[in-house]
Amino acid sequence: MPVELPPALLVASLAAFVLAVLSAIAGFGGGVLLLPIFTALFGLRVAVPMLTLTQLSSNSARVWLNRRELRWPLIGWFSLGAIPCAVAGGLLLAHAPLVPLKRVLGLFLIGVVLWRHLQHRPRPPAQPSFALVGAASGLGSALLGSVGPLTAPFFLALGLTRGAYIGTEAASALTMHLTKIATYGAGDLLTGRVLLFGLALTPATLLGTWVGKKIVGRISERVFVLFVELGLVAAGVLFLAGL
């Protein structure tokens, strides 16, 4: 084991805790910010599947903590598109041009926030359209490690906030992450080293999710939506920068 590995795991655990708190409040954001940190510490080939394992524990915890407010029809429609496209994205990971894809996604996120403020009464999307949302999210997540901000505007457009939004989004993402893990395993990306790293980061991720759940119960719905929109803009800027 390299000498620098324990300090790297310590830094990764601290980052996983802080960003799990952020994800538990906003419903997303942790994966977007963790990917560049994990890539710098461990390299991209390890970072993407390792991030998926971290998101698996984070999303599972958010689902459990908000289990009474889940919207199951939305989860079903989302999964219908997410699962096959997550498989396709996992198989394409070694060959796809990731930087242009990130920049397109960055423009989309910033544009959605602007659209929400220009439209006084944006029309809620039909629930079956979440199959398309899931398809785009499954493909992008398998390629980029995390595209949680991509789904946020659609869940918000249905009027979901707090536990209903956080839990439903997390349950939808969970189906995608389970599919990605199976696909990475088939493609020899899910090595023993990756599994060990993912297990080592689980306690910090679960603790951060619990802390975030405590915080989100103390803020108003207006502040909650504002926080999510600020997160969308920040994620869009990061994607445009190619991070």
The full set of domain ranges for the chain reads: 5-240
Question: Which residues does 150 contact at the CB level (< 8 Å), separation at least 6?
Answer: 105, 108, 109, 133, 136, 137, 140
**Cα-based distances in Å from 35 to 29, 42, 159, 190:** 10, 10, 29, 16
pLDDT at residue 96 in the model: 60
CB burial string 106-132: b at 16+ within 10 A, e below: bebbbebbeeeeeeeeeeeeeeeebeb
For 222, the token pair is 């207006």
Position 200 scores a pLDDT of: 84
First to last CA, the chain: 28
Burial class from Cβ neighbours inside 10 Å (0-12, 13-18, 19+) for residue 72 reads exposed
* Tokens 């954001």, residue located: 29
Q: Could you tell me the pTM of the whole model?
A: 0.68
Predicted pLDDT at 76: 92
**Residue-level pLDDT, tens digit, the chain, 243 residues:** 443 567 778 888 888 888 788 777 766 666 666 777 777 787 766 777 888 888 888 888 889 888 888 999 999 999 999 888 888 877 776 566 666 666 766 776 677 677 667 765 557 778 888 999 888 888 877 776 666 667 777 887 888 877 888 888 889 888 888 887 877 776 666 777 788 888 888 888 888 888 888 887 677 767 766 776 777 677 677 767 765
Dihedrals φ, ψ of 223, to 5°?
Answer: -65, -40
Q: Which long-range contacts (CB under 8 A, 24 or more apart) does 197-200 make?
A: 197/9, 197/12, 197/42, 197/46, 197/50, 197/53, 198/49, 198/50, 198/53, 198/54, 198/56, 198/57, 199/53, 200/9, 200/13
Residue 20 structure tokens? 């799990």
